Chains A and B, each alone.
Chain A
């Protein structure tokens, strides 16, 4: 008896047979497959009670109503609010990505102080004590007028509180960004003393002539515009898009007029010529509500013959005649302007030319036309109390109500003797959004003490000395006045959907606390216990309606008699804003291409949004510049090859993307890239357009109306 190989074989067979008849292999297989379908490291969101809370999106000026879906105390989804008058249930990709801003890694979790170049956590008491001490010293030294504030908007209670604080303190340095709306009101200010904001009744228009307005690229209130555009398609309403490049709006329009960049005003006057020549205007409306028509009409007829306009704009005269006729005969046509998302103002001359078309066809304050609305006015606060220091501070620099345009801020720091010694930044990210960014940052860094109220570690917060983080828009109460070209203004209510996740405080509360700690007239100017009380009392009898509905509709229905008088202005030689740069050295024109797939404002695009950016815009970390293949060939540039993009304000390495949809010698890439802050999904991706362009002031309004800049591209 010897144990040999066969015995072991037999043992093996026995083991195999026994194992096969036991649950081991089958169970192990079953369990492994279950394991592989439910990887234990894949996060499984906890189950819980589903609730919905209505609020307002603040991520762009659109003012959409949102419904936030929560599981227990956790936000899991943001949807468009179905019964909201702005967006009727729609939402854009940025709005949808809101939860990533709440839970993402870019939140500032507590007050932070920069010590030797590094941020250290400090307590709220320490932070506020330091501010009080610094401000008290500045006041005592008679330098109250060197304290400044930047806010993301000039409207609403938080912005109002900051402006009020500065005034009571003795400073008129309040800055906020300007937009197409400011161009409109500036155009009207030229005609009358009233500040007027445009309300476009686009849903009821029957012909849309858009001078570069990115209707589905984020102009006005973006979701509302997308819905309006869909409605036009269903009703077969014609959209004519005047734009030098084939944007999404141009691609979806019924007729694209690829005009030479910057010639929109000339083209508008060309259409006016056709309307005048063929007597398609409304003589009664013109008689009743305008001045200077005769002289203006004669000038247009003499100087804007379609052949002449065709030469400047690149649109052939027959098309100009056809579109001019269609517009004049449509019945309820409307002409709109404001390039791209309309966040950059247009010149008064251009707004005048476009608005003249609306006035000619008599569609002011009429269904389907343009409504002239007053500034939203719904907050009633007691008078500001000014002491002698405040008085002299305000006299040191004359106050301009509504503040100054943000683009003038760098000059306020470097261009005046006193400079700025202390700065507050709320709901804004000027170190990213200001054009000629490098210079703007230099000016920013000159300010001895900068306080950011940002909820996120954005570019401005990173360069500040102190961060007093605000609650995010999903954690706080606030009023959000929305104009954005809506037919009627609306004030959206944002309300806390979750308890604050971190040691953040409402900026409104912080301003009130600061005022109280400065005592005297400043404290007296802030008679509220806290921000909630300030908001509630400020809204007065509107409060209940506001909280019940989640928004307040400001229904101004101007009677026809109230149509503001329009003064036809004989345009200057060529109503065009010149481009910065030397044409002989820089033969290309760089223009921004706005897109809904990127957030170009103070909020950086969250990761979800970044995932939607196509690789013709961003490839790995490189921005791609759209260029016509013919221009590329002339310059010896190849698709996806590297090139150096140079403008008078800076130079950047970019990649080349060929596009038939852009005119020769015009190049473009979108705003919203090239962040140096936020998370890894955004930081270091692409080029910040703002760094390559600088402000160009409109000679009439002083608004920054730079619509492009001369540029050169050379093979890298």
Chain B
């Protein structure tokens, strides 16, 4: 018996680890699968959160314009809409953001009681210094864009690309990409803009947006004036 017992003991001893292993493995199997999935979900959601929420916040920084400007009020005072200040020069080039010379006629003296107006006259007009405006719609230097071709030839209006800035009463902060240094308006403000989706034409102004509009309007991505296709249409 003792021998049997001993054998039995031996078997027991031999079996018991297997059993215990088996038992553990079934038991642990459920636990580990759950944990693994949990870890996956944690990693997945955390990175989605970082990628969609934190990253865009980190990627962009913002600056305030040197002084505020009321587009809406100026629009009431001028006769020719946006082109009164953002005009085409006689050689067809586009003047862009107005220079001091255009403001000086009315702003020799402080107009009204706005604090920004006082700063404008004292710091810029009387010192003959240009205001270092931050330009929301400035494309990277490698992009060639002709306002004349779009506004004068294709008769597009300013709102199509620049939105309703002409109706604003104050300037929004200038957000810029920390990596590229360019304005956020080019890439778009909303998360969906990252996917190339947009509600308004002016929500985003990246390469594909140019190409899309060209395709829509002309049936081809090429330049209208030169009829040429390819990178050098815009990247000269």
Docked complex Cα distance between A11 and B45 (Å): 10
A47: chain B residues at CB < 8 Å are 96
Nearest residue (CB) in A for B95 is: A49
Q: How near does chain B come to A177, taking the closest CB pair, in angstroms?
A: 42
Do residues A27 and B59 form an inter-chain contact, with CB atoms below 8 A?
Answer: yes
Q: 1/0 per residue B175-218: CB within 8 Å of A?
A: 00101111000010001001100000000000000000000000
Do residues A38 and B43 form an inter-chain contact, with CB atoms below 8 A?
Answer: no
Do residues B55 and A23 form an inter-chain contact, with CB atoms below 8 A?
Answer: yes
Do residues B55 and A10 form an inter-chain contact, with CB atoms below 8 A?
Answer: no
Docked complex Cα distance between A40 and B142 (Å): 12
**A388 is an interface residue with CB less than 8 A from chain B:** no
Q: How near does chain B come to A50, taking the closest CB pair, in angstroms?
A: 6
Q: How near does chain B come to A183, taking the closest CB pair, in angstroms?
A: 48
B45: chain A residues at CB < 8 Å are 14, 18
Do residues A11 and B39 form an inter-chain contact, with CB atoms below 8 A?
Answer: yes
Option from A11, A21, A49 in Cβ contact (under 8 Å) with B40: A11
Option from A16, A27, A44 in Cβ contact (under 8 Å) with B55: A27
**A4 is an interface residue with CB less than 8 A from chain B:** yes
**B165 is an interface residue with CB less than 8 A from chain A:** no
Q: How near does chain A come to B168, taking the closest CB pair, in angstroms?
A: 23
Binds A, one of B29-37, B73-81, B109-117, B149-157: B29-37
Docked complex Cα distance between A132 and B210 (Å): 68
Binds A, one of B2-10, B11-19, B46-54, B121-129: B46-54
Which B residues between 42 and 86 are near A, CB-CB below 8 angstroms?
A: 42-48, 50-52, 55-56, 59
Nearest residue (CB) in A for B141 is: A44
**A557 is an interface residue with CB less than 8 A from chain B:** no
**A34 is an interface residue with CB less than 8 A from chain B:** yes
A116: chain B residues at CB < 8 Å are none
Option from B42, B43, B89, B179 in Cβ contact (under 8 Å) with A28: B179
**B140 is an interface residue with CB less than 8 A from chain A:** yes
**A13 is an interface residue with CB less than 8 A from chain B:** yes
Option from A18, A31, A49 in Cβ contact (under 8 Å) with B48: A18
B177: chain A residues at CB < 8 Å are 31
Name which of A4, A22, A26, A50 has the most chain B CB atoms within 10 A of its CB: A22
Docked complex Cα distance between A337 and B223 (Å): 55
Do residues B44 and A14 form an inter-chain contact, with CB atoms below 8 A?
Answer: yes
User: How many A-B pairs fall under 8 Å by CB?
Assistant: 116
Nearest residue (CB) in A for B182 is: A34
Tell me the count of chain B residues lying within 8 A, CB to CB, of chain A. Answer: 40
Nearest residue (CB) in B for A22 is: B51
Q: 1/0 per residue A6-37: CB within 8 Å of B?
A: 11101111111111011111111001101101
**B167 is an interface residue with CB less than 8 A from chain A:** no
Do residues A10 and B141 form an inter-chain contact, with CB atoms below 8 A?
Answer: no
Docked complex Cα distance between A14 and B36 (Å): 10
B51: chain A residues at CB < 8 Å are 18-19, 21-25
Q: How near does chain B come to A53, taking the closest CB pair, in angstroms?
A: 14
Known contacts A34-B182, A35-B179, A37-B140; A24/B50 CB under 8 A: yes
Q: How near does chain A come to B11, taking the closest CB pair, in angstroms?
A: 29
Do residues B40 and A14 form an inter-chain contact, with CB atoms below 8 A?
Answer: yes
Q: How near does chain A come to B197, taking the closest CB pair, in angstroms?
A: 12
**B171 is an interface residue with CB less than 8 A from chain A:** no
**A3 is an interface residue with CB less than 8 A from chain B:** yes
Do residues B194 and A10 form an inter-chain contact, with CB atoms below 8 A?
Answer: no
**A401 is an interface residue with CB less than 8 A from chain B:** no
Known contacts A1-B31, A14-B47, A49-B89; A34/B36 CB under 8 A: no
B40: chain A residues at CB < 8 Å are 10-11, 13-14, 17
Q: How near does chain B come to A38, taking the closest CB pair, in angstroms?
A: 5
Q: How near does chain A come to B124, taking the closest CB pair, in angstroms?
A: 16
Q: How near does chain A come to B99, taking the closest CB pair, in angstroms?
A: 8
Docked complex Cα distance between A1 and B36 (Å): 11
Do residues A31 and B179 form an inter-chain contact, with CB atoms below 8 A?
Answer: yes
Q: How near does chain B come to A602, taking the closest CB pair, in angstroms?
A: 36
Option from B32, B50, B181 in Cβ contact (under 8 Å) with A22: B50
Option from B38, B59, B141 in Cβ contact (under 8 Å) with A31: B59
Which A residues between 44 and 61 are near B, CB-CB below 8 angstroms?
A: 44, 47, 49-50
B187: chain A residues at CB < 8 Å are 27
B142: chain A residues at CB < 8 Å are 37-38
**A294 is an interface residue with CB less than 8 A from chain B:** no
Docked complex Cα distance between A1 and B28 (Å): 6
Do residues B180 and A38 form an inter-chain contact, with CB atoms below 8 A?
Answer: yes
B141: chain A residues at CB < 8 Å are 38, 44
Do residues B42 and A11 form an inter-chain contact, with CB atoms below 8 A?
Answer: yes
Docked complex Cα distance between A3 and B42 (Å): 14
**B161 is an interface residue with CB less than 8 A from chain A:** no
Known contacts A38-B142, A49-B89; A22/B59 CB under 8 A: no
Option from A8, A10, A18 in Cβ contact (under 8 Å) with B47: A18
Q: How near does chain A come to B90, taking the closest CB pair, in angstroms?
A: 10
Docked complex Cα distance between A161 and B149 (Å): 53
**A634 is an interface residue with CB less than 8 A from chain B:** no
Nearest residue (CB) in A for B55 is: A24
Do residues A7 and B36 form an inter-chain contact, with CB atoms below 8 A?
Answer: yes
A35: chain B residues at CB < 8 Å are 179-181
**B105 is an interface residue with CB less than 8 A from chain A:** no
**A2 is an interface residue with CB less than 8 A from chain B:** yes
Do residues A23 and B56 form an inter-chain contact, with CB atoms below 8 A?
Answer: yes
Docked complex Cα distance between A208 and B42 (Å): 89
Do residues A38 and B140 form an inter-chain contact, with CB atoms below 8 A?
Answer: yes
**B93 is an interface residue with CB less than 8 A from chain A:** yes
Do residues A2 and B28 form an inter-chain contact, with CB atoms below 8 A?
Answer: yes
B56: chain A residues at CB < 8 Å are 23, 27
Known contacts A31-B179, A35-B179; A15/B91 CB under 8 A: no
Given contact pairs A17-B44, A19-B50, enumerate 13 new A-B contacts (beta carbons under 8 Å).
A2-B28, A7-B38, A10-B37, A14-B45, A14-B46, A15-B46, A16-B43, A22-B55, A32-B179, A34-B180, A35-B181, A38-B141, A50-B93
Q: Which A residues have a C-beta under 8 Å from some C-beta of B? A: 1-4, 6-8, 10-19, 21-28, 31-32, 34-35, 37-38, 40, 44, 47, 49-50
Closest CB pairs A-B (n = 4): A22-B51, A14-B43, A18-B47, A14-B44
Listed A/B pairs (26) with beta-carbon separation below 8 Å: A3-B35, A4-B32, A6-B32, A7-B38, A10-B37, A10-B43, A13-B43, A14-B42, A14-B45, A14-B46, A15-B46, A15-B47, A17-B44, A18-B50, A19-B47, A23-B51, A23-B194, A27-B56, A28-B179, A31-B177, A34-B180, A35-B179, A35-B180, A38-B181, A44-B141, A49-B93
Q: Which B residues have a C-beta under 8 Å from some C-beta of A? A: 28, 31-32, 35-48, 50-52, 55-56, 59, 89, 91, 93, 95-96, 140-142, 177, 179-182, 187, 191, 194-195
